[in-house]
Structure formats: C-alpha cells, structure tokens
C-alpha cells in the first residue's frame, strides 16, 4: 500500500485524527473502507467541497475504498451554523439537489476494481427509522452535556438558542457512521475541521454500541494569505456546476491564485507528487510573471471538474482575449461566459447599422465619458475585435459581430469589456 497518510501530512492536510499512529499503520497495511459525506444544501457542490473530494480521491488512488454519501436525510435537517437557524428546504427541492450532487460526485471516483467506490444516500436507512427506535437505540448513547460542548451549538445557545431539529443533527450523522460500519465495513470518516464534533460523535457511537474502535480524520480549513475566504470572489461562490460557474470562470479562479497561496493550493488540490510540486514551485518562483504554477493548477482542476475540452476552450478564450488570438476560434458559450466575467453589456443596432465607435465604447463601459473615449482613441489604446481604432469616425460593420452577436472592446492591455447585440 502507498504511504498515503504520510503524503497527506506532508501536504498539510491533517488537522486532527483520533489516533494518528494506529490510523497511519492501518492505511499502510491494508485496504480501508472509508466514507465522506456531502449534504445537499444547494443545487451544486462548490469549490470548498473539493478539499474533501480530492482527499478522498487520494485515498482511493492509494488503494482504499470510498463510500461517497449524499445526505438526503441530513440535508432535510441541516448542520447547525453559528450564525443562526437554517431554513428548511422542501423535500422535493432536497431530492432534486441529491440527484445533482450524486451525479457530480460520480465524476471523481473509480467505480470499478477491487476498491471500487460506492454511492450511498442516508435517507435510505434514516427514513424507515421510527422515532421510538431512534430515541431508545441511538439517542440513549449521547450525553447531552457533551453535545452542548460542540462549538456551533455553544455559539447558538449563547445567542438565540437552537432548535431540537438542528441539535439532533450530530446524532443523525453519527448514526450514518454506525450504519456504514455495520453494513459496509467503514472504519474511517473524513471531513473538514469544522466537522470534528460530528466525526467523533460517530466514533463514540460505534464504540458504545459495538465496542469497536474506528477512526476520524479531518483536514484544516483553508485560509488565504490576504485573510479572505477561500472559494469566494467578487461575483460570489465558485460552484462545480458549469451552469452556475462557467468553466472559463472556474479556470480563471485558479489562474488568478495569489503567488502567496500557490504552494498551499498545489499541495491541497493537485494530484501531482510533492517532488513535482516542488519543481513547479521553483520554476514559478524564478519567473512569477509567467504564472507557471497557476496555469498548471488551472489546467488540472478545470480538466478534473469539467473536462479536458472545457479546459482547452477556457485557455483559448483567455489567449484570444488577452494575447491577441483569433476571437472567432472561441465557441459561442465560452465567449459569452468569458465576456460576462470581464463585463458584458447589451447594445442595439440603429437602423441595422452599428452605433458610432464612441457610443460603442460608452455602452461597453470601457470609458466613462465621450471625452475619455476620444482621448483613448487618439492615444491608440482602443481595439474592437482585435482591430485598433485610429479615429472616432472609424466604422464597425455588423458583419464583424462574433457569432453574429458579440463585440470585444479593449482599452490598453488589460481592460476588456463585451457588447452583446
């Protein structure tokens, strides 16, 4: 077996573990069945979930067997947040989200071979559980004083209180671990450090019910060098669903990684070996302006989450927009997504003719006034569809619309906007 625990530790991916020595020996000596769970709190997983997905993928690549759980039951309840009570979503909505997240997760794991992954839904064993059976057989194993010590619960009690519904969440998640231990042989649960209380509730329940010792392991929460929250941008959350975050925007998120965060991002997300990452960091540090590491990370992550073709389309779009490539080579959906990221405004033809160049510049938002437009044109810093605009009287033909609908307006080297007709 590969020494995956040592690799995870060297990458900085071990925050807490129930028994480090025993788990390291177990992962080294045999194939281990483990599980990782995702609640359907939105129609898509987001980029923060990738930490757990890729950690699970590393374990499978090392010979261990993943159970990928989608929380059809726990998603109806909601893990307590420190900020306040969750809004309970309708069953039909949660069911739709369960299916979407199930389909997303299937792209990351191998479902064939001796350590084939298995998809499970905790609704299947939670729904048939009667309330008396739940209270007598499961609830009696949970000391309330220990449940109150959980950070999120304590914060809520100190603020506005917490409903019994959310308070019971850790009991349901612990029961998942017990079920997967008894029916699939799962002896390890992984998750983020904010889930540590839920993870250990499961190990305690299994010990109380069966006498067996099992393991929990959690990864640290990612913190960017600037103090910002990982996975959030000015435009919002980075989702794994291509309709919610385009592959182009997804690629750009990784490509725009701060130099200070690059090594952490590579170690956390890339499937490259640590020596390969070290070599890549040396190259990147020698020529930081070329962004070798960011490009490698963007290529790998976009290919993994979307596809190699989506990654190539995103690369071609960026090259055409920022490096003078052929804009007509960008497919329509990728161009639309790229211009949305840059800033896409609507415009209309006037008597089937294009508005004047000055009006186009104003409509796009690349300039703020007519005087600024005229000055930028006279300075030679305006391009429309890669054609330099030399005078304000220069005409733009309707036939120049890319895919019959778009113009790309650029001021200088980096200020790009789009117009849609």
CATH code for position 287: 1.10.240.10
CA distance 38 to 380: 53
Residue 338, domain member (yes or no): no
Q: Which of 292, 323, 354 is the last residue of a domain?
A: 323
Q: Based on the fold, state whether residues 188 and 263 are members of the same structural domain.
A: no
Q: Based on the fold, state whether residues 205 and 226 are members of the same structural domain.
A: no
For 190-237, the pLDDT digits (tens) are 999 999 999 999 999 999 999 999 999 999 999 888 887 787 776 789
Domain count, the chain: 3
The domain spanning residue 387 has which CATH number? 3.10.290.10
Helices (H), 72-163: 91-105, 123-126, 131-133, 144-148, 151-157
CA distance 184 to 35: 10
Q: Based on the fold, state whether residues 70 and 192 are members of the same structural domain.
A: yes
Q: Based on the fold, state whether residues 134 and 189 are members of the same structural domain.
A: yes
Over residues 175-192, the mean pLDDT reads 98
Q: How many C-beta atoms surround the C-beta of residue 21 within 10 A?
A: 9
Per-residue model confidence (pLDDT) at position 202: 97
Residue 328, domain member (yes or no): no
In order of 219, 254, 334, the CA distances from 47 in angstroms are: 15, 11, 20
- Whole-prediction pTM value? 0.90
Q: Based on the fold, state whether residues 206 and 62 are members of the same structural domain.
A: yes
Query: pLDDT > 90: what percent of the chain?
Result: 81
Asked whether 415 and 385 are in contact (CB, 8 A), the reply is no
At residue 85 the predicted structure's pLDDT band, cuts being 50, 70 and 90, is confident
At residue 35 the predicted structure's pLDDT band, cuts being 50, 70 and 90, is very high
Q: Transcribe 203-245 into DSSP letters.
A: HHHHHHHH----EEEEEPPPB-TTSPBTTEETTEE-BSSTTTS
Instruction: Using alpha carbons, select from 195, 193, 194, 152 the residue that is nearest to residue 177.
Output: 195
CA distance 421 to 405: 5
For 241-275, the pLDDT digits (tens) are 999 999 999 999 999 999 999 999 999 999 999 99
Q: Based on the fold, state whether residues 190 and 74 are members of the same structural domain.
A: yes
Find the domain containing 354 and state its range: 343-421
Tell me the sheet residues that pair with 215: 188
State yes or no: pLDDT of 346 exceeds 90.
yes
């Amino acid at each position: 077996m590969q020494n995956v625990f040592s690799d995870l530790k060297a990458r900085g991916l071990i925050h807490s573990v129930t028994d480090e020595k025993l788990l390291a020996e177990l992962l080294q000596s045999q194939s281990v069945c483990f599980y990782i769970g995702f609640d359907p709190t939105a129609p898509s997983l987001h980029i923060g979930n990738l930490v757990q997905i890729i950690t699970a993928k590393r374990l499978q690549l090392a010979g261990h067997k993943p159970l990928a759980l989608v929380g059809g039951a726990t998603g109806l309840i909601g893990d307590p947040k420190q900020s306040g009570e969750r809004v309970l979503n309708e069953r039909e909505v949660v069911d739709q989200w369960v299916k979407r997240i199930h389909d997303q997760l299937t792209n990351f794991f191998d479902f064939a071979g001796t350590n084939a992954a298995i998809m499970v839904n905790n609704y299947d064993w939670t729904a048939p559980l009667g309330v008396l059976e739940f209270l007598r057989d499961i609830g009696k194993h949970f000391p309330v004083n220990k449940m109150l010590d959980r950070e999120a619960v304590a914060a809520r009690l100190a603020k506005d209180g917490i409903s019994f519904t959310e308070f019971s969440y850790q009991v349901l998640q612990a029961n998942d671990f017990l079920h997967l231990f008894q029916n699939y042989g799962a002896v390890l649960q992984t998750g983020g450090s904010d889930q540590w209380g839920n993870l250990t509730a499961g190990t305690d329940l299994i010990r109380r019910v069966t006498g067996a010792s099992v393991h929990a392991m959690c990864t640290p929460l990612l913190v960017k060098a600037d103090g910002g929250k990982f996975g959030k941008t000015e435009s919002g959350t980075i989702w794994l669903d291509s309709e919610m975050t385009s592959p182009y925007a997804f690629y750009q998120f990784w490509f725009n990684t701060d130099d200070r965060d690059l090594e952490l991002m590579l170690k956390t997300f890339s499937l490259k070996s640590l020596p390969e990452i070290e070599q890549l960091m040396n190259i990147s540090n020698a020529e930081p302006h070329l962004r070798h590491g960011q490009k490698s990370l963007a290529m790998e992550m976009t290919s993994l989450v979307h596809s190699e073709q989506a990654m190539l389309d995103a690369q071609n779009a960026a090259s055409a927009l920022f490096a003078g490539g052929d804009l007509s080579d960008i497919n329509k959906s990728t161009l639309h997504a790229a211009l949305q990221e840059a800033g896409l405004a609507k415009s209309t033809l006037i008597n089937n003719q294009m508005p004047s160049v000055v009006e186009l510049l104003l409509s796009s938002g690349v300039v703020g006034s007519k005087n600024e437009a005229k000055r930028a044109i006279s300075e030679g810093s305006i391009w429309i569809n890669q054609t330099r605009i030399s005078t304000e009287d220069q005409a733009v033909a309707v036939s120049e619309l890319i895919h019959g609908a778009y113009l790309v307006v650029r001021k200088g080297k980096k200020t790009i906007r789009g117009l849609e007709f």
